[in-house]
Amino acid sequence: MKILTVLCFTAALMAAQSTPVKATPVKATPAKPATKGTKAAKVAPPDPGGLPKGAKPVGDFEWRWTDPKGKVWIYRKTPFGYAKMPETAPISATPEPLRSPVVLTAVDLGDQVEFSRPGPLGISRWTKKKTETLSTDEKTALDALSTKEKQ
């Protein structure tokens, strides 16, 4: 039975083979020269694919366009087409760093200082000698400790 199935399958595959088709040569027709009496068709430049008329290039892959209402739009070329977004105020060149205030406490242990600060996993504690180099946060905490002790 297996042999009969294999033979039928092989025969079906052989019958399904396609015979090669001979390609027929296509004769090229010469282009007719335009005469003075006929108007040549004007070739329009390719549509940039979504940019409105009057859009001016701002940079690489970016255009600026003002609509009839006076709103300014920015068009950016992406791999998926053009993205349209309203123009916003320019971002300052040197933004201020986002830094949360560090709540650092210090405890004087004689020749060492114990620092602690709250963290996401609880309170972090470490000690440093007063002669070691301290970070700016550690220096401010130590200065705050010394001013407290003087009062």
40 or 89, which is more confident: 89
17 conformational bin, left if phi > 0, alpha if psi -120 to 50, beta if neither:
beta
Identify the band that residue 73 occupies on the pLDDT scale cut at 50, 70 and 90. Answer: very high
Identify the band that residue 63 occupies on the pLDDT scale cut at 50, 70 and 90. Answer: very high
pTM of the model: 0.35
Mean pLDDT of all residues in 107-134 = 90
Task: Tell me the C-alpha distance between 89 and 48, whole Å.
Answer: 27
User: Quick one: pLDDT at residue 140?
Assistant: 87
40 or 94, which is more confident: 94
